[in-house]
């Protein structure tokens, strides 16, 4: 298996077209979460290497920004093709370092390619305006131009597609990039360097550094050559990056934590709701920022929904991602398991009952049993904290207004879901929920065509959709006089 993926598995960083090691020669180990074994190492870079990567990106920007949108679109289409030609190998590499089931990994790589293709198309639609002038002898033009070098910091839960959402619009707009993948899953990030080379992007357009998150993050946020920071990760680190980026007034895009509510009303199609609940909760073993964190189920349908959810949960096959038929991989690391255990202990000590699961899986390591708990209440930590694991807490409610109020009683506002067959209620609840993404009778809604992004402390800016390229562009007003 390693042999098949080895072509993409780079144990070096890409800076200005060269694959290099850290100045210190230091490395960090990358571990397979399914068995705890070391897969390999990647360079442990810091500020100096990051500065060189930024300078290489700045040098490349001067010619890259002058390429035609059509030429950039062609390269991006080629990048899409290279990804799809290597979908299996990239997916295997992803499973190896991240743990998710192979089918999900293939889906993620397919999604990465889809983002690249979408932005290849959008590259040619970066329109400006000619604005009616208040002066007879002057004309007003509004043009768009690439912001410059961007710094992209990405997490371990979608190590391939989170970079696609950033590199796609950046390259389409004419920006160059320095990317820092998460230390747990650097290979899928470094693979973007190999892919960009194979597609034919000029040296320095895509640079990738791994290593000390704080050192790389400090250089990316403090270096004035970087004009935009795009980040996906925790709200805590997002806030820190925003503060640091303020020093040189960089643009920022932030895709941060979520606390997704999933509301099931009495008039819902219960089977459809359970089907949606399974994908909205257990995808990637609950480790996505759009995963359901809290289920709110109305009184009359409560017991039927719980019974069917428990039954569906019991059928989820837990196992290593590369094992045939596996649907639930391990959690990313021991810390993640401890967090899930802590939140469960807090909930049960405050009255929640375990309906299924509730403990580490017999497979050992970081495998955890898919879990459902009932009797959840607002004073439990799961009301506000992201579980990021395979636990479904069920709250019971009486009235629509009460459910919407509880769903909104959080500082987050990324994704939410609800199930109803009443059209009036569908509109009322959709308009009442303070969330950037709403699934109505759907549990899996992410797609390249639609703008993804949170409200409140879940983030700033949109990824995907026609909106996704906006954050990588500066708007310039030009007044032409003396006509
Ligand atoms: P998670 O909880 O998903 O690991 P983090 O926000 O800690 O979320 O990590 C997301 C990304 O942010 C990773 O690439 C991580 O290495 C990076 N990161 C963590 N701390 C910092 C920091 N101080 N500065 C810049 N990046 C950071």
- Average of per-residue pLDDT across 268-286: 98
CB atoms inside a 10 Å sphere around CB 145: 15
- Average of per-residue pLDDT across 179-185: 98
1-58 pLDDT per residue, tens: 444 456 899 999 999 999 999 999 999 999 999 999 999 999 999 999 999 999 999 9
pLDDT beyond 90 at 79: yes
Instruction: State in Å: Cα 114 to ligand 1 middle.
Output: 25
The two structure tokens encoding residue 59: 């040098």
Give the separation between CA 297 and CA 388, rounded to whole angstroms: 21
Phi/psi at 192 (nearest 5 deg)? -60, -30
Give the separation between CA 339 and CA 336, rounded to whole angstroms: 5
What confidence score (pLDDT) does residue 7 get?
87
122-171 pLDDT per residue, tens: 999 999 999 999 999 999 999 999 999 999 999 999 999 999 999 999 99
Lowest pLDDT segment from 6-10, 252-256, 329-333, 347-351: 6-10
For a mutational test of ligand 1's pocket, the pick from 151, 154, 155, 286, i.e. the residue with the most ligand atoms closer than 8 A to its C-beta, is 155
Atom of ligand 1 nearest to the CA of 181: 14
Residue % of the chain over a pLDDT of 90 = 99
What confidence score (pLDDT) does residue 1 get?
46
pLDDT beyond 70 at 408: yes
Closest CA to 390 of 453, 303, 327: 327
Q: How far is CA 440 from CA 262, 268, 395, 403, in A?
A: 10, 11, 19, 15
What confidence score (pLDDT) does residue 3 get?
46
Atom 27 of ligand 1, residue of closest alpha carbon = 213
CB atoms inside a 10 Å sphere around CB 319: 18
Catalytic residue among 49, 92, 108, 255: 255
Q: Does ligand 1 come within 6 angstroms of the Cβ of 257?
A: no
Q: What angle do CA 291, 293, 299 make, to 5 degrees?
A: 120
SS3 204: coil
Average pLDDT, the chain: 97
Scanning the structure block, which residue is given the tokens 């959810």? 309
Q: What is the DSSP code (8-state) at residue 318?
A: B
Q: What pTM did the predictor assign?
A: 0.97
Instruction: State in Å: Cα 238 to ligand 1 middle.
Output: 8
Q: What is the DSSP code (8-state) at residue 157?
A: S
What confidence score (pLDDT) does residue 450 get?
98
Instruction: State in Å: Cα 162 to ligand 1 middle.
Output: 13
Scanning the structure block, which residue is given the tokens 């990051």? 50
The two structure tokens encoding residue 213: 């998150």
Atom of ligand 1 nearest to the CA of 157: 3
The two structure tokens encoding residue 276: 């949606």
What confidence score (pLDDT) does residue 5 get?
54
User: Is residue 255 annotated as a catalytic residue, yes or no?
Assistant: yes
* Maximum separation of any 2 CA atoms in the chain, in Å: 79
Instruction: State in Å: Cα 349 to ligand 1 middle.
Output: 31
Scanning the structure block, which residue is given the tokens 């397919």? 110
Residue 408 and residue 308 in contact, taking contact as beta carbons nearer than 8 Å: no
Atom of ligand 1 nearest to the CA of 332: 4
Give the separation between CA 286 and CA 293, rounded to whole angstroms: 9
Atom 25 of ligand 1, residue of closest alpha carbon = 217
306-333 pLDDT per residue, tens: 999 999 999 999 999 999 999 999 999 9
Instruction: State in Å: Cα 371 to ligand 1 middle.
Output: 27
pLDDT beyond 90 at 447: yes
What confidence score (pLDDT) does residue 4 get?
46
Give the separation between CA 104 and CA 91, rounded to whole angstroms: 8
Atom of ligand 1 nearest to the CA of 232: 10
DSSP H helical segments within 178-234, as ranges? Answer: 186-199, 213-222
- Average of per-residue pLDDT across 332-355: 98
Scanning the structure block, which residue is given the tokens 């500066």? 474
- Average of per-residue pLDDT across 330-341: 98
Closest CA to 173 of 203, 200, 194, 143: 143
205-243 pLDDT per residue, tens: 999 999 999 999 999 999 999 999 999 999 999 999 999
Residue ranges with strand state E in 280-421: 292-298, 353-356, 371-374, 391-397, 415-419
Closest CA to 286 of 166, 403, 382, 405: 382
For the chain, count helices (H), then strands (E). 14, 20
Is beta strand 226-232 parallel, antiparallel or unpaired with respect to 292-298? unpaired
Residue 288 and residue 397 in contact, taking contact as beta carbons nearer than 8 Å: no
Q: Does ligand 1 come within 6 angstroms of the Cβ of 155?
A: yes
CB atoms inside a 10 Å sphere around CB 392: 30
Give the separation between CA 243 and CA 46, rounded to whole angstroms: 20
- Average of per-residue pLDDT across 247-271: 98
């Amino acid at each position: 298996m390693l042999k098949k993926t080895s072509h993409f598995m780079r144990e070096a960083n890409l800076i200005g077209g060269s694959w290099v090691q850290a100045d210190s020669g230091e490395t960090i180990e990358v571990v397979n979460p399914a068995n705890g074994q070391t897969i390999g190492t990647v360079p442990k870079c810091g500020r100096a290497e990051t500065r060189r990567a930024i300078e290489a990106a700045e040098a490349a920007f001067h010619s890259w920004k002058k390429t035609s949108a059509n030429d950039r679109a062609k390269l991006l289409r080629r990048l899409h093709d290279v990804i799809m030609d290597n979908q299996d190998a990239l997916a295997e590499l992803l499973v190896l370092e991240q743990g998710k089931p192979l089918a999900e990994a293939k889906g993620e790589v397919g999604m990465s390619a889809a983002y690249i293709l979408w932005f290849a198309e959008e590259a040619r639609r970066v329109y400006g305006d000619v604005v009616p002038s208040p002066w007879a002898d002057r004309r007003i033009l509004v043009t768009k131009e690439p912001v410059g070098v961007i710094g992209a910091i990405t997490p371990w839960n979608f190590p391939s597609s989170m970079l696609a959402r950033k590199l796609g619009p950046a390259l389409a707009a004419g920006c160059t990039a320095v990317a820092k993948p998460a230390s747990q899953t650097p290979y899928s990030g470094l693979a973007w360097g190999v892919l960009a080379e194979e597609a034919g992007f000029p040296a320095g357009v895509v640079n990738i550094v791994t290593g000390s998150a704080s050192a790389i993050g400090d250089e990316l946020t403090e270096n004035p050559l970087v004009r935009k920071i795009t980040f996906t990760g925790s709200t805590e680190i997002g806030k820190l990056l925003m503060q640091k980026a303020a020093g040189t007034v960089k643009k920022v895009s932030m895709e941060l934590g979520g606390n997704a509510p999933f509301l099931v009303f009495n008039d819902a199609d219960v089977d459809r709701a359970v089907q949606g609940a399974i994908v909205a909760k257990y995808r990637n073993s609950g480790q996505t920022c759009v995963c359901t964190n809290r289920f709110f189920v109305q009184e009359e349908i409560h017991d039927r929904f719980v019974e069917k959810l428990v039954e569906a949960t019991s059928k989820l096959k837990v196992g290593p991602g590369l094992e045939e038929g596996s649907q639930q991989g391990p959690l990313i690391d021991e810390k993640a398991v401890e967090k899930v255990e802590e939140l469960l202990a807090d909930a049960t000590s405050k009255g929640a009952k375990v309906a299924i699961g509730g403990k580490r899986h017999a497979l050992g390591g970081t495998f955890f049993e898919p879990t459902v708990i009932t009797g959840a209440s607002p004073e439990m930590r799961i009301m506000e904290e992201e579980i990021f694991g395979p636990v479904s807490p069920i709250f019971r409610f009486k009235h629509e207004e009460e459910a919407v109020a509880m769903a909104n009683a959080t500082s987050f506002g990324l994704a939410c879901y609800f199930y109803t067959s009443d059209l009036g209620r569908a509109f009322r609840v959709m308009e009442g929920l303070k969330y950037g993404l709403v699934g109505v009778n759907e549990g899996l809604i992410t797609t390249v065509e639609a703008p993804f992004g949170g409200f409140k402390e879940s983030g700033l800016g949109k990824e995907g959709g026609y909106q996704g390229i906006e954050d990588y562009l500066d708007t310039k007003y030009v007044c032409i006089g003396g006509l």
